[in-house]
Chains A and B, each alone.
Chain A
Amino acid sequence: MKATERLGKVIDNIEKVIIGKREIAELSLVALLSHGHVLLEDVPGVGKTMLVRALAKSVGADFKRIQFTPDLLPSDVVGVSIYNPKDMQFHFRPGPIMGNIVLADEINRTSPKTQSALLEAMEEASVTTDGVTMQIPKPFFVMATQNPIEYEGTYPLPEAQLDRFLLRVKMGYPTREEEIEVLTRSQSIPPIEELESVLTLEELLKLQEEVRTIRVDDTIRTYIVELATQTRRDPYVYLGVSPRGSIALMKAAQAYAMLKGRDYVTPDDIQYLAKFVFGHRIMLRSEARYDGITAEELTERIIAKTRVPVQRLVNQ
C-alpha cells in the first residue's frame, strides 16, 4: 500500500469523529510526519481534543493529555524523581510528556517556566531531570492549544518559543450542516470509542523517514527562501521568518507532498502551507495591527506578489 493511501486512511478515520475538519487533520498529519508540532489556536469546544485523540487512536499511539493551569509545575509535565525508601534510590516517574501524542491544552495558562519545560522537551524530544536525560519515545507529537480570547491570567508564549511549533492552525467553527451532523452523531455512542488504528507506530516511523526523500527542487528551495526573505523586508514586519522557518516550510511541504501522493514538492504545496508555517513566526509592527492586517494575510500578500518559479533553473 502506498504512503498516500495509508495516510488517506488515517484522515478518513479521523473524519469519522470530527466532521468537516479534513484540512486540520491533514495538517496534523503533516506535522506528525515531519517531526513537528502543532499549535491549535481556537476557542474551546470546537473539537480540538477530539481531533488529537482520534489521531492518536488512528495511528495506535500512546495518547497523553496535559491540562495547563497557572499552578502547574515543570515536574508535572516532564516527570519527577521519587525517593524509594526500599532500595534507597531515586526513581524517575515520567510525566505526561512521555507519550507519543500529547495534547497540551491551554498552554498559555501556565507559567513561562512550565511552558519552557514543555517547549524544550518538544524541541529536544528528550527530558532532563536531576542530570538524567530521558529520550521521549518516538514518534513524539505535541498538539498544543491556546485560547486567543482570554487574556486575563494568561502568559502569552514568547515569539521565540512559538518558533518551536511547525504549524499554527486555527480550527474555526463548523458550518451549519456540519454542526447539525455533529449533533446527530453525538446522540449515539461517541464514535471515538469505536475507532481502530489503521497505521502502526512502526509504519508511522517509516513514513517519517520516507518524508525526507521527497524531492525538493532547486526552484522550490529558491522559492521558499524568496518568500522568507520577503517577510523580512516587508514594511509591516518587525521580525520576519527565520531560517528555521524556511526549513520548517520545506519539511512541511515534503510531508504534504507525500500526503498528496507526490514524490516532489510543488509551489502549490508551499503556497498552501506558508500561512500555517509563517503565521506565528512573523512579528508585526503596530502599524499592521492598526491597518487590521494579520500575519496570515501578510503571508498571502507576499505569496501573491512573489513570482512562482515555473522554469527549470538554467545554471544548475
Chain B
Amino acid sequence: MTSIRKNKVFMGLLYILVFFLLSEWLRPVIELTETGHHRLFLAFVALGLVMAFFDIPWWITGPLKLFYILWFIVYVYTGNLFFTAESIRFVVEQASISLSALFSQDWQATTDVFRTVLFFALLWMAIYLIHYWVSFRLSIFLFYLLTVIFVAVLDTFSPYSGDAAIVRIMVIGLLLAGLLHLARWMERHGAAAKTDKLLVFSIPLLLLLVASTALAFYLPKADPIWPDPVPYITSYSGKGGVGEGGVGRIGYGVDDSQLGGSFVSDDATVFRAEVEEGQYWKVEVKDVYTTKGWELSEEDADEQLYRNGDEVTTDFPPAGEERSSALVDMQLPFPFVLYPYGTASFLMEETLDYRYDPVQQRFDTLQENTAFEPDVYEVFYSEPSYSLTALRETDTEQLSELPPEYDRYLQLPDELPERVGELAEEIAAGSDTVYGQAQAVERYFGTNGFEYSQSDIAIPAEDQDYVDQFLFETQRGYCDNFSTSMVVLLRSLDIPARWVKGFNEGEVIDTVDGYDVYEVTNNNAHSWVEAYMPGVGWMMFEPTIGFTGSSSIDFDLEIDASEPEEEEMPDRPEPEPEAQPEQPDGDAGTNASPTVGERFLAFVSEQAGKLIAATIVLLLLAFMLFKIRKKWMPKVLIPYYRRKVGDAETFEKAYLRLLKQLELYGIKRAPGQTLRSYAEYVDSFFGTKEMTKLTAAYEKSVYGGDAESVDWPKLKESWENLINRTSG
C-alpha cells in the first residue's frame, strides 16, 4: 500500500497550508508584543517545516535551527550580518547574564535575548507538534480549532483586529482539515494515493469552500445580538475604567458629563452616621444638562463662608427651632461635608471654614484656605416640611413670573428631541398645580414599565440623547437615568429643577443611645431631583423606582368631606387613579405597576422569535451532545468517579454507568441476559478480564448484600480501563 504520506506533492501542499496557519499565530503575537523582524520569524517557521517535510534527521535540523537562532540574535541585537568576534562575545555575555539570572531565580533580570531564545524554542515546539499532527495523525482539527479560538480571543480582548485573519484561518483551516480527512479516508480504504486522484477528490472540497466563503462574504450579516460582553468581563478583572462608557464602579464621582453604562457594586464604606432617622445626604447639585450628562454652569455666585456652629443658609431652611443632630464618621476622604435636608449648622473639633457655593450647593471644608478632609463632624438639622395647602396652590401661572435667576434651572439642550417635551405635556395634562405636575412626573416611572437595574445599561450613542434613550428606548436604568429624566421632563414643563447628587440612607448596622447607626457605602451613592414650587420653595423628589426618600408633607388641608379627592397623598406606592396623568400608551385602565409576571409575559411576547430560535439552537445542541455522549461521557465520568469516596454505592453507580456506556458503544445486553454472561461476552470482545472481575464484585455487593467487600479503589483501574474503551 502506498501511503498517502509518501505523496510529496500532496504533503507539500499540506505543509504550505500549515505554514499559513502557523503564521496566523505568529502575526498577532508579534504585533501585540511589538516585536520586530516578523519575516525572520516566519523564515524560521518555514525552515522548520521544510526540514520536517523532507524528513531531515534531527542531528542536522537541530544544529541548523540553533544556528539560525544564534544568527538571528547576532543580526538583530548587534546589527552584524555575520558572526564577528564582537558579536560572539555579545552572545556569550548575554548567555552568561541570563543563565546566572536563571540560576538565581531572578526572572526579571533575564535579557531580551533570552526571551527571544525562548520564543524561538516555542516556535520550534509548535513546528514539531504540527509536523506530528499532519504527518502522523493526519488530523489538524484540534490545532485548527485552537487557532480560531486564539484569534477570536485576541480580537475580543486585545487591540489586535482579527477581522481578516479569521477569514483566512477559516479558509486555510477548512481546506487543511478537508484534505487531511481525505487523506485519512484514502488511507483507511487503502486507496492508491495518486496525485491526479487526489486532485479529483479535492475538487468538491474546493468548490464547497469557495462557495461557502463567497456566500459568507456576500450575504448580509446581522449585527451582534448580544451586547459586547468584554467591558463586563474586564470590569470583573479589576481593569474596568470608570467614566467613559463601559462599566463603571458605583460610588461618588465628580465627573457626570457622561452618564450611562452599567455599574458593578462596591461595598466600600463611605461614612457612618448616627441619626434619629434615615436621611438622604446631599453633596451637591448640577444644573446644566448636556444630552449626555450633567455639568455645572459657570455662573459666579457669592460664596458664603461659615464657621463651626454658624447657622447656614440653604435652599432648604430648617423646619423649626428644634434641631436633630447627626454624627457623621467619614471613612473615605472627601473635601466637603455631606448634609441632610434642613441643615442648620455643622460642628467639628477642628477649626475650619465651610464654604458654601449656592450654585453647586456644596459645603467645601477648608482649613486655612486649603481643602480639608473631615473625619468626624456633627450636623444639626430639622427636616423641612411642606404645607399641602400651599402646595395645592402652586399655580402654573406663577412659573412665568419667576425671577431670571431661575432660568438656569430651566436650561435644556437644543438637541433635545421634541417627543420628550410632548411626553412631559402628556404626563402633566391632568394636573393644574405645579406640585401636581411634578408629582405626576415623579410617579410616571413607577407605572409605565420602567425597570431598575445597574447592569446592562445603555450608553447613548453620539447622536442620542441620554434622557430620550431612557424614556423611549431602554426604559431600564438606575438613579441617574430616573433623576435626569425627571429634571428634563420638569424643565420641559417650565418647572425649575436641578439634579442632586449624594447618598441615600444606607443600612442600619447598630443602635447607640436611641440613635440608629447607618452605614453608607459606595453602593448608596444616589442622585435625585430638586424642583422649585412657586410660593413654597425648593422641594426634593425621588423618581427612581424602589427608593423611598421624599419630602415630608404637612397635611394641613382642611379636607372637605364632600371632596373625595386625595390625590396629594404622598404614598407613592399606591397611586390614586385620579392623580394619574393620561398615560401615553393609553393604558389608563389599570394604574398598578405591571407585576413581574406581566412584565415577563410582555418580554416573552416581544422576544418570541429570538426565544424560539434560541430554544431551538439549545435543543439542537443538547440533542447533538446527547447523540455523541458516548464520546465525551467517559471524559466526564472518570474524573467524576475518581473524586468520589470509594464506597460500594459509588462502585454500584459507576458499574451501572459502565453498563450504559457499553450499551452506547454497541455491546447490547439482552433483557434476559445475566450480568455474568454479559461480562464474559464483553471481556471476550475486548480481550480483557476486567468486566468479569467488576461483575463478580458487583454481584457480591448487590445480590450478596455484602457492600463491605467492595474495594472501589482497587476496582477503579479496571473500571477506567473499560470505560475508556467505550469512547473509542
Contact of A264 (CB < 8 Å), options: B652, B674, B676, B706: B706
The 8 A CB mask of B706-724 against A (1 = contact, 0 = none) is 1000000000000000000
Question: Contact: A271 with B674, CB < 8 Å?
Answer: yes
> Apart from A217-B705, A219-B702, what are 11 other A-B pairs with CB-CB below 8 Å?
A215-B703, A215-B704, A217-B702, A264-B699, A266-B674, A267-B703, A268-B674, A304-B670, A306-B671, A310-B659, A311-B652
- With a cutoff of 8 Å between Cβ atoms, the chain B residues found around residue A32 in the complex are none
> Is A86 in the interface zone, CB < 8 Å from B?
no
Contact of A215 (CB < 8 Å), options: B656, B670, B675, B705: B705
Question: Contact: A310 with B656, CB < 8 Å?
Answer: yes
When A266-B676, A268-B677 are in contact, do A308 and B703 touch as well, CB less than 8 Å?
no
Question: Contact: A308 with B672, CB < 8 Å?
Answer: yes
Whose C-beta in chain A lies nearest to the C-beta of B673? Answer: A308
A313 to chain B, nearest CB (A): 9
Question: Contact: A220 with B672, CB < 8 Å?
Answer: no
- With a cutoff of 8 Å between Cβ atoms, the chain A residues found around residue B706 in the complex are 264
Question: Contact: A312 with B652, CB < 8 Å?
Answer: yes
21 contacts between A and B (CB under 8 A): A217-B702, A217-B704, A219-B702, A219-B703, A263-B704, A264-B699, A264-B703, A266-B699, A267-B675, A303-B672, A304-B670, A305-B671, A306-B671, A306-B672, A307-B672, A308-B671, A308-B673, A308-B674, A308-B675, A310-B702, A312-B702
Whose C-beta in chain B lies nearest to the C-beta of A264? Answer: B704
Question: Contact: A217 with B671, CB < 8 Å?
Answer: no
Which 4 pairs between the two chains have the least Cβ-Cβ distance?
A: A264-B704, A304-B672, A307-B671, A267-B674
Question: Contact: B674 with A305, CB < 8 Å?
Answer: no
The 8 A CB mask of B33-53 against A (1 = contact, 0 = none) is 000000000000000000000
> Is A138 in the interface zone, CB < 8 Å from B?
no
Q: Which residue, of A267, A305, A306, has the highest number of chain B Cβ atoms within 10 A?
A: A267
Question: Contact: A305 with B703, CB < 8 Å?
Answer: no
- With a cutoff of 8 Å between Cβ atoms, the chain B residues found around residue A307 in the complex are 671-672
A312 to chain B, nearest CB (A): 5
> Is A252 in the interface zone, CB < 8 Å from B?
no
> Is B700 in the interface zone, CB < 8 Å from A?
yes
Interface residues of B in 651-671 (CB under 8 A from A): 652, 656, 659, 670-671
Count of residues in A whose CB is under 8 Å from the partner chain: 21
- With a cutoff of 8 Å between Cβ atoms, the chain A residues found around residue B703 in the complex are 215, 217, 219-220, 264-267
The 8 A CB mask of A295-316 against B (1 = contact, 0 = none) is 0000000011111101110000
- With a cutoff of 8 Å between Cβ atoms, the chain B residues found around residue A303 in the complex are 672
> Is A262 in the interface zone, CB < 8 Å from B?
yes
Q: How far apart are the CA atoms of A271 and B678 in the complex, in Å?
A: 14
- With a cutoff of 8 Å between Cβ atoms, the chain B residues found around residue A220 in the complex are 703
Q: How far apart are the CA atoms of A265 and B676 in the complex, in Å?
A: 13
A256 to chain B, nearest CB (A): 13
B505 to chain A, nearest CB (A): 54
Q: Which residue, of A215, A266, A268, A310, has the highest number of chain B Cβ atoms within 10 A?
A: A310
Whose C-beta in chain B lies nearest to the C-beta of A272? Answer: B674
Whose C-beta in chain B lies nearest to the C-beta of A306? Answer: B672
A4 to chain B, nearest CB (A): 15
Q: Which residue, of A219, A264, A265, A271, has the highest number of chain B Cβ atoms within 10 A?
A: A264
When A217-B704, A217-B705 are in contact, do A268 and B676 touch as well, CB less than 8 Å?
yes
Interface residues of A in 246-278 (CB under 8 A from B): 262-268, 271
When A305-B671, A310-B675 are in contact, do A264 and B705 touch as well, CB less than 8 Å?
yes
Q: Which residue, of A219, A268, A305, A306, has the highest number of chain B Cβ atoms within 10 A?
A: A268
Q: How far apart are the CA atoms of A304 and B704 in the complex, in Å?
A: 23
- With a cutoff of 8 Å between Cβ atoms, the chain B residues found around residue A264 in the complex are 699-700, 703-706
Question: Contact: A262 with B671, CB < 8 Å?
Answer: no
Chain B positions near chain A (C-beta within 8 angstroms): 652, 656, 659, 670-677, 699-700, 702-706
- With a cutoff of 8 Å between Cβ atoms, the chain B residues found around residue A305 in the complex are 671-672
Q: How far apart are the CA atoms of A147 and B673 in the complex, in Å?
A: 34
Q: How far apart are the CA atoms of A57 and B677 in the complex, in Å?
A: 35
B260 to chain A, nearest CB (A): 56
Whose C-beta in chain B lies nearest to the C-beta of A267? Answer: B674
- With a cutoff of 8 Å between Cβ atoms, the chain B residues found around residue A265 in the complex are 703
Q: How far apart are the CA atoms of A145 and B652 in the complex, in Å?
A: 45
- With a cutoff of 8 Å between Cβ atoms, the chain A residues found around residue B674 in the complex are 266-268, 271, 308
A228 to chain B, nearest CB (A): 15
Q: How far apart are the CA atoms of A311 and B700 in the complex, in Å?
A: 12
- With a cutoff of 8 Å between Cβ atoms, the chain B residues found around residue A262 in the complex are 704
Question: Contact: B656 with A311, CB < 8 Å?
Answer: yes
- With a cutoff of 8 Å between Cβ atoms, the chain A residues found around residue B672 in the complex are 271, 303-308
Q: How far apart are the CA atoms of A262 and B705 in the complex, in Å?
A: 12
- With a cutoff of 8 Å between Cβ atoms, the chain A residues found around residue B676 in the complex are 266, 268
Q: How far apart are the CA atoms of A308 and B695 in the complex, in Å?
A: 14
B700 to chain A, nearest CB (A): 7
Whose C-beta in chain A lies nearest to the C-beta of B702? Answer: A312
Q: How far apart are the CA atoms of A304 and B676 in the complex, in Å?
A: 14
Q: How far apart are the CA atoms of A263 and B677 in the complex, in Å?
A: 19
Q: How far apart are the CA atoms of A311 and B659 in the complex, in Å?
A: 11
Q: How far apart are the CA atoms of A264 and B702 in the complex, in Å?
A: 10
Whose C-beta in chain A lies nearest to the C-beta of B672? Answer: A304
The 8 A CB mask of A180-192 against B (1 = contact, 0 = none) is 0000000000000
Q: How far apart are the CA atoms of A142 and B315 in the complex, in Å?
A: 117
Q: How far apart are the CA atoms of A40 and B652 in the complex, in Å?
A: 41
Whose C-beta in chain A lies nearest to the C-beta of B701? Answer: A312
The 8 A CB mask of A5-18 against B (1 = contact, 0 = none) is 00000000000000
- With a cutoff of 8 Å between Cβ atoms, the chain B residues found around residue A311 in the complex are 652, 656, 702
Q: How far apart are the CA atoms of A220 and B704 in the complex, in Å?
A: 10
Whose C-beta in chain B lies nearest to the C-beta of A305? Answer: B672
Q: How far apart are the CA atoms of A220 and B699 in the complex, in Å?
A: 11
- With a cutoff of 8 Å between Cβ atoms, the chain A residues found around residue B673 in the complex are 308
Q: How far apart are the CA atoms of A100 and B231 in the complex, in Å?
A: 92
Q: How far apart are the CA atoms of A310 and B700 in the complex, in Å?
A: 12
Q: How far apart are the CA atoms of A271 and B672 in the complex, in Å?
A: 9
Whose C-beta in chain B lies nearest to the C-beta of A262? Answer: B704
Q: How far apart are the CA atoms of A64 and B337 in the complex, in Å?
A: 117
Q: How far apart are the CA atoms of A220 and B656 in the complex, in Å?
A: 18
B347 to chain A, nearest CB (A): 73
B185 to chain A, nearest CB (A): 40
A301 to chain B, nearest CB (A): 9
- With a cutoff of 8 Å between Cβ atoms, the chain A residues found around residue B659 in the complex are 310
Whose C-beta in chain A lies nearest to the C-beta of B675? Answer: A310
B429 to chain A, nearest CB (A): 68
- With a cutoff of 8 Å between Cβ atoms, the chain A residues found around residue B652 in the complex are 311-312
Interface residues of A in 200-241 (CB under 8 A from B): 215, 217, 219-220
- With a cutoff of 8 Å between Cβ atoms, the chain A residues found around residue B656 in the complex are 310-311
Whose C-beta in chain A lies nearest to the C-beta of B649? Answer: A312
- With a cutoff of 8 Å between Cβ atoms, the chain A residues found around residue B702 in the complex are 217, 219, 310-312
Q: How far apart are the CA atoms of A109 and B705 in the complex, in Å?
A: 47
B79 to chain A, nearest CB (A): 77
B619 to chain A, nearest CB (A): 30
Whose C-beta in chain A lies nearest to the C-beta of B648? Answer: A312
- With a cutoff of 8 Å between Cβ atoms, the chain B residues found around residue A271 in the complex are 672, 674
Q: How far apart are the CA atoms of A220 and B674 in the complex, in Å?
A: 12
Q: How far apart are the CA atoms of A267 and B669 in the complex, in Å?
A: 14
- With a cutoff of 8 Å between Cβ atoms, the chain A residues found around residue B671 in the complex are 304-308
A85 to chain B, nearest CB (A): 63
Q: How far apart are the CA atoms of A310 and B676 in the complex, in Å?
A: 10
- With a cutoff of 8 Å between Cβ atoms, the chain A residues found around residue B677 in the complex are 268
Q: How far apart are the CA atoms of A263 and B700 in the complex, in Å?
A: 9
Q: How far apart are the CA atoms of A266 and B692 in the complex, in Å?
A: 14
Q: How far apart are the CA atoms of A312 and B659 in the complex, in Å?
A: 14
Q: How far apart are the CA atoms of A262 and B701 in the complex, in Å?
A: 12
B207 to chain A, nearest CB (A): 52
Q: How far apart are the CA atoms of A305 and B670 in the complex, in Å?
A: 8
Q: How far apart are the CA atoms of A262 and B703 in the complex, in Å?
A: 11
Q: How far apart are the CA atoms of A37 and B555 in the complex, in Å?
A: 104
Whose C-beta in chain B lies nearest to the C-beta of A214? Answer: B704
Q: Which residue, of A219, A220, A303, A312, has the highest number of chain B Cβ atoms within 10 A?
A: A312
- With a cutoff of 8 Å between Cβ atoms, the chain B residues found around residue A310 in the complex are 656, 659, 675, 702
Q: Which residue, of A215, A220, A308, A311, has the highest number of chain B Cβ atoms within 10 A?
A: A308
